[in-house]
Amino acid sequence: MRAVLQRVTEASVSVDGAVVGRCGPGLMILVCAMAGDGPDKARALADKILKLRIFRDEAGKTNRSLMDVGGEVLAISQFTLAADTSRGNRPGFSNAAPPDEGRALYALFADHIAAQGVTVGRGQFGAEMQVALVNDGPMTIWLDV
């Protein structure tokens, strides 16, 4: 599983002009299931993100996790994170999980975060989406598990 996290003050995702998911202060997460990933990887990525200390404490240091600050999440599936650009100028996406597996792992990932008491907004798997966010920091981190 692969993810790009952006610490945000707010974020939303729209499909055909209608907002389908949003979050307040917390994380906007672009997430991709890679070929060969399974449920354990989806849960491991979610757990890593929940514990990652990238939020400011009272002294302004990044010592607090999403759980510590009571942050929200906007989780958006994005198979293009699996892009292989090693040959030519057109990315290949064969490293991404097949769509049915990707959909299931994305849902498991978001459900696992929600099960920890975190408010989770979601994108629409496989749709053309427009994402709006206010990056806080900016703080952007790429994770692979």
Domain boundaries, the chain: 2-137
* Catalytic site includes residue 80: yes
Give every residue of the chain whose pLDDT is below 50, as ranges. Answer: none
Q: Was domain 2-137 assigned CATH 3.50.80.10?
A: yes
Residues β-bridged to residue 5:
29, 141
From the list 80, 116, 130, 140, the catalytic residue is 80
Distances in whole angstroms, Cα of residue 1 to Cα of each of 40, 68, 113: 10, 24, 15
pLDDT digits (tens, 9 = 90+) for 71-109: 999 999 999 999 999 999 999 999 999 999 999 999 999
User: Which run of H or of E encompasses 45?
Assistant: helix 39-51
From the list 6, 55, 79, 109, the catalytic residue is 79
pLDDT at 68: 97
Nearest alpha-carbon partner for 36 in 80, 2, 11: 2
Distance (Å, rounded) from C-alpha 51 to C-alpha 49? 5
From the list 6, 55, 78, 109, the catalytic residue is 78
Distance (Å, rounded) from C-alpha 120 to C-alpha 129? 17
Judge whether 140 and 4 are in contact, CB under 8 Å: yes
* Catalytic site includes residue 9: no
pLDDT at 88: 92
pLDDT at 117: 98
Question: Angle of helix 39-51 relative to helix 99-114, nearest 10 degrees?
Answer: 40
* Catalytic site includes residue 78: yes
pTM, to two decimals? 0.95
DSSP, collapsed to helix, strand or coil, labels residue 47 as helix
